[in-house]
């Protein structure tokens, strides 16, 4: 049986839990169908994905699934916020037709899959270096959810730039036949990129956390000077901030994620990961070395 979260709210999305329910409900959706994949704990950034999905398709299907395959430590997985009722309310406000929120046994009925997707070398750097196996888990579940939901369009946020790149590469390399769209990062008024992890920040961490975007903006403002100037400007901001433990600051080729060399010009990705208290945050900005700042969503 399919469920409606608010039986008296005809605008609420249809909620399905199992593969069989999904197949029936998906077949009834007018196409084209856009799919937004999430792990729940939804916020305005997810709403922006849904709104862009709505502009591109006749129906919007959102998946809510906390994928154990992409978490290294059980502690990370168990600490992840679970807010399905609030998620459904937000998705209803944004006109989503169908929500697929399966349990682990529905997605992995035989236990962890023996055949998985390998992210390859692009999955070993930046976030992949800090979280070994993470992107294999992400790509495996994305491939499975593509198979289950059969999207025409798939939308991902640009805040997780490496994830977006890897999904785009997987779709091309494995001929999955779906259009992948990146949606600009949504930021709070103080510039902090929206993330489900922000709920873990203590009030006193907030100012420290905004140092990430301040550093990225300083780097982007130095883009005309070249790679050395970008790195120096961003590092200067990060190093001046107490209470911030920087994991990496990378100025990378957007297609290969290799560090750009001295004197490089053209598009680049300036990405940062850092811990504020117990919370690990990531952010990035697209820029053009020797040219203007790209469309990165960092405008204040």
Say if CB 66 and CB 106 are below 8 A apart: no
Stretch that binds ligand PAF, among 33-41, 234-242, 249-257, 278-286 (CB under 6 A): 33-41
Stretch that binds ligand PAF, among 21-29, 35-43, 186-194, 239-247 (CB under 6 A): 35-43
Residue choice 14, 15, 29, 38 for contact with ligand PAF (CB under 6 A) = 38
Residue choice 25, 138, 237, 270 for contact with ligand PAF (CB under 6 A) = 138
Which of the following is catalytic: 46, 94, 134, 262?
46
How many angstroms separate the CA atoms of 8 and 14, rounded? 12
Whether 262 is catalytic = no
Which residue number, 60 or 141, has a Cβ lying nearer to ligand PAF? 141
Which residue number, 38 or 210, has a Cβ lying nearer to ligand PAF? 38
Q: If binding is defined by CB under 6 A, does position 67 make contact with ligand PAF?
A: yes
How many angstroms separate the CA atoms of 268 and 224, rounded? 12
Q: Is 40 exposed, middle or buried (0-12, 13-18, 19+ CB in 10 A)?
A: buried
Say if CB 38 and CB 63 are below 8 A apart: yes
How many angstroms separate the CA atoms of 282 and 247, rounded? 9
Q: Is 277 exposed, middle or buried (0-12, 13-18, 19+ CB in 10 A)?
A: middle
Which residue number, 39 or 282, has a Cβ lying nearer to ligand PAF? 39
Q: If binding is defined by CB under 6 A, does position 160 make contact with ligand PAF?
A: yes
Give the interface with ligand PAF as residue ranges (CB under 6 A). 37-39, 67, 70, 138, 141-142, 160, 163
Mind telling me the catalytic residues?
46
């Amino acid at each position: 049986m399919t469920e409606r979260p608010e039986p008296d709210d005809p605008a609420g999305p249809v909620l399905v839990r199992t593969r069989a329910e999904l197949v029936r409900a998906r077949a009834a959706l007018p196409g084209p169908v856009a799919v937004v994949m999430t792990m729940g704990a939804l916020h305005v950034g997810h709403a922006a994905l849904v709104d862009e999905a709505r502009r591109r398709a006749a129906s919007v299907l959102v998946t809510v699934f906390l994928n154990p395959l992409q978490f290294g430590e059980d502690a990370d997985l168990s600490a992840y916020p679970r807010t399905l009722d609030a998620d459904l309310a937000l998705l209803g406000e944004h006109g989503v037709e169908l929500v697929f929120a399966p349990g682990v046994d529905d997605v992995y009925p035989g236990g962890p899959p023996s055949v998985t997707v390998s992210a390859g070398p692009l999955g070993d750097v930046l976030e992949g270096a800090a979280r070994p196996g993470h992107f294999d888990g992400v790509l495996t579940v994305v491939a499975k959810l593509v198979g289950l939901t059969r999207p025409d369009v798939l939308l991902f946020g640009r805040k997780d730039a490496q994830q977006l790149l890897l999904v785009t590469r997987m779709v091309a390399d494995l001929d999955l036949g779906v259009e992948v769209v990146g949606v600009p990062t949504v930021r709070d008024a103080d510039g902090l990129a929206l993330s489900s992890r922000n709920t873990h920040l203590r009030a006193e961490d907030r100012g420290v956390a905004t140092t990430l975007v301040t550093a990225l903006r300083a780097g982007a403002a130095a883009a005309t000077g070249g790679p050395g100037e970008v790195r120096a400007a961003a590092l200067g901001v990060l190093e001046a901030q107490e209470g911030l433990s920087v994991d990496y600051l990378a100025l990378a080729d957007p297609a290969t994620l290799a560090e750009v060399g001295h004197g490089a010009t053209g598009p680049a990705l300036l990405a940062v990961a850092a811990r504020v208290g117990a919370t690990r945050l990531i952010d990035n900005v697209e820029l053009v070395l020797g040219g203007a700042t790209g469309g990165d969503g960092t405008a204040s």
